[in-house]
Amino acid sequence: MDDKEITGRENGNITARSIIISLVLVAINAYWVVITSELWYIVYNTVSPFANAVFSIVPLILVNALSKKVFKRDLLSSAEMLIIYIAVTMVTTVIGHTTMTVLMGALSHPYWYATPENEWQQLFWPHIPSWFTVSNVSVLRGYFEGDSSFFIWEHVMAWAVPILVWSGFIFVAVFAMLCINIILRKQWVELEKLSYPLIQLPLAMTHRRTWFFSSRMMWIGFGIAAVVRVVNGFSSLYPSIPSIPQQVEIGRYITDKPWNAIGYTLVSFRLSIIGLVYFMPLDLSLSCWFFFWLAKAERVMAEVMGWNNLHLDERSAGAWIGVGIIAIWLSRKYLLDVIRQIFTRQSSLNETTEPMSYRTAFILLIFCLVFLFGFCYQAGMTLWAIVVFYSLFFIMGLAITRVRAELGPPYHEVIFVNPRQVITEAFGSKLLGGGNLMVMSFLYFFNRCNRSHSMPNQLESLKIAERSGMKGSRLIWAMTLAVGIGTVVAFVSYLQVLYKYGAVARCRGWIGQCGWESFNPLQSWMQHSTDPNWSSIGFMIGGFGFVMLLMFLRKIFFWWPLHPSGYVLAGASWGGMIYFWFPVLLTWAIKSLVLRHGGLGTYRKTAPMFLGLVLGDYILWFLWSIISVALNIPISAAY
């Protein structure tokens, strides 16, 4: 679906009312995501586009349809609905299980769990700034045990400074990413015309809604996904009704050596993933499942050979760095033009279509970096470690953004691949010291798994704006206000939910346990100082070199089928394909047959059905989650 297919384009101006509505929905979503992720472990922001963002515009579409029937006109334009979708997406990137849950777990962890046996008081406390978190154990008691309230003066005053500090940090870090995206937007959106497969659904639901909602193929896909969710929901409520299995873990059935070395292997039939993967290029979907099974084959070979460690995470870290550097290298000529435009105003670039001038974006980026560097320096990091940390942070962000923009994988989890891990392996904990290690452990939440990374969602939002004709700086205002307001609302929501239910009492989410991920490695590094791990460094260089080799082969052989992005998505020990390799394989086979025997025309005719699979799965998923929370019972179809 290219730009020529978008008919009836409406005025792309972003109205004040759409921003007001979006901020109201941002606050509602911030509270709702906290409730569902922590009370019931219902996680919306693992797969992009986010289910709650898609669902947020469904009531608006229904109101529009009613207004069209009664008053013969739309109440909201397509651009207005899209800005609401973008705002909800922006806040969802920084809240919930994949991001702020990890931060909240870290903030409460080091004082509550300190014991004479683990020596955390001696190891950790001297390195934790007083303005980072709450050290009063009596204040934390209600947080962990529940049956209390955040809205008690003592609790509010204790948490006021950490809320302001970390809300400000999150806002500035996310805005720095947005400045980088604004600088790169023209190259990746207009000049290279990357495909952005993940924006198809929100655009179809708004700009092409007449065509989309009148499509029989869409309703077939919607119906299939909805029936599966409905049956499984009623099966939870009434066990006599058989459920429709959507996944099975086959690794447990493989018990003979060396084959049992493949470990956890999930066969999933998640219909929304099948729908989203249909819009990925074939070479990427092929590469994803190929490299997933290549890693499994390596595990079996390691079992045969008696190897203890394949260093999959170190190789993946080097590969992600390589993809980020490739992204910068491919844009080098454009970036030189941007530099000329910033400092001399003598380039051929036209800035009239940008939401912000390059010079303004650059100046604001510098201010953001000064703030982030100053934040970490005041917290106890050394300057060299700050530079290395943020270099890796933004390079990995660029890598994920490029992969999403070019190829559109809906899921890109990369646990154990993050700046803290890379720096500790490369330099050793002895050189880093307690201050650097402590601050990086608190910053772990931004890169714990990268599933809802802000940067790719920002660039996709800028692409949506370009496709829908949105103009002016109001887009930037809407995106930044969504993050700023939503983060504060989320903080307050987290604290009220946790003080009421207890992080380790009645909360079913990950928040009561995730702090161990931050502080167990930290304890090990501080108690047993390490030197640079030259073996890990070698494997990082190997992963870097491997993606460079794949890129070189794609450049000289037009038929080369394996994509570097497929390797980084599937190569880690717990990578993005761990849950969804089978939908990728299945959809690759379906799409290959469609294109081979039906051609591009058949692919376009069937595309609405796959979008319908996504929409049907999302809407029924969200509705069942509402019912689950309302009835206070777990329902399988809500997960």
Local structure of 266: helix, strand or coil: strand
pLDDT digits (tens, 9 = 90+) for 174-224: 999 999 999 999 999 999 988 899 999 999 999 888 899 999 999 999 999
* 406-421 average pLDDT score: 89
More confident residue, 449 or 300: 300
Confidence of residue 7 (pLDDT cuts 50, 70, 90): very low
pLDDT digits (tens, 9 = 90+) for 54-107: 999 999 999 999 998 898 888 899 999 999 999 999 999 999 888 999 999 999
Residue 6 in this model has a pLDDT that exceeds 70 = no
Q: What is the pTM of this model?
A: 0.94
Closest CA to 419 of 435, 437, 434: 437
Residue 228 in this model has a pLDDT that exceeds 90 = yes
Enclosing H/E stretch for 52: helix 51-71
pLDDT digits (tens, 9 = 90+) for 328-379: 999 999 999 999 999 988 778 888 888 899 999 999 999 999 999 999 999 9
Mean pLDDT (the chain, rounded) = 93
Handedness of CA 201, 207, 208, 212 (dihedral sign): positive
Confidence of residue 9 (pLDDT cuts 50, 70, 90): very low
Residue 391 in this model has a pLDDT that exceeds 90 = yes
Contact between 282 and 595 (Cβ < 8 Å): yes
**Which pLDDT belongs to residue 349?**
85
Residue 5 in this model has a pLDDT that exceeds 60 = no
CA distances from 348 to 245, 341, 352 (A): 57, 8, 12
Local structure of 299: helix, strand or coil: helix
Q: Where are the alpha helices (DSSP H) in 199-270?
A: 200-206, 209-213, 216-237
* 23-52 average pLDDT score: 94
Local structure of 130: helix, strand or coil: coil
**Which pLDDT belongs to residue 348?**
80
What span, in angstroms and rounded, lies between the C-alpha atoms of 44 and 37?
Answer: 8
Residue 358 CB partners (closer than 8 Å, separation 6+): 182, 183, 338, 341, 342, 349, 351
More confident residue, 571 or 317: 317
Helix axes 383-407, 153-185, angle to 10 degrees: 60
**Which pLDDT belongs to residue 12?**
62
What span, in angstroms and rounded, lies between the C-alpha atoms of 399 and 318?
Answer: 11
What span, in angstroms and rounded, lies between the C-alpha atoms of 400 and 381?
Answer: 26
Instruction: Give the strand pairing for 247-249 and 266-268.
Output: antiparallel
- DSSP string of 323-374? HHHHHHHHTHHHHHHHHHHHHTS-SS---TTSSS-HHHHHHHHHHHHHHHHH
Confidence of residue 239 (pLDDT cuts 50, 70, 90): very high
Contact between 47 and 97 (Cβ < 8 Å): no
* 6-24 average pLDDT score: 74
* 459-485 average pLDDT score: 91
Percentage of the chain surpassing pLDDT 90?
Answer: 81
Contact between 461 and 115 (Cβ < 8 Å): no
pLDDT digits (tens, 9 = 90+) for 142-184: 999 999 999 999 999 999 999 999 999 999 999 999 999 999 9
Confidence of residue 473 (pLDDT cuts 50, 70, 90): confident
**Which pLDDT belongs to residue 425?**
96
The distance from CA 224 to its chain's CA centroid, rounded to whole angstroms, is 27
